[in-house]
Amino acid sequence: MKVKTSITLSEDILKAIDQFSGQYKNRSDFLEVAARALIAQLSREARNAKDLEILNQHADELNQEAADVLTCTARGH
């Protein structure tokens, strides 16, 4: 369901939208596609940050396991 809204944009942004929106139905379509792309990017960045936080919380344990594996491999076990 689409909802009609009103936004205020800088003149230079509106000119750029008009310049690049030719392949879209209209400005609204262009802005919706752009908003969805930004939302997807922000979602990926949030997931990546959460994953990094989890890895950092377990970094010492993971590093010790890796060191143990390398030690065993070096000894031929």
Mean pLDDT confidence for 38-55 = 96
Q: What contacts 17, CB < 8 A, 6 or more positions away?
A: 9, 27, 30, 31
| Boundaries of every domain in the chain | 11-75
Q: Which residue has the tokens 């010492």?
A: 60
pLDDT of residue 10: 97
pLDDT at 7 over 80: yes
Residue 61 to residues 58, 67, 74, Cα–Cα distance (Å) = 5, 10, 20
pLDDT of residue 77: 60
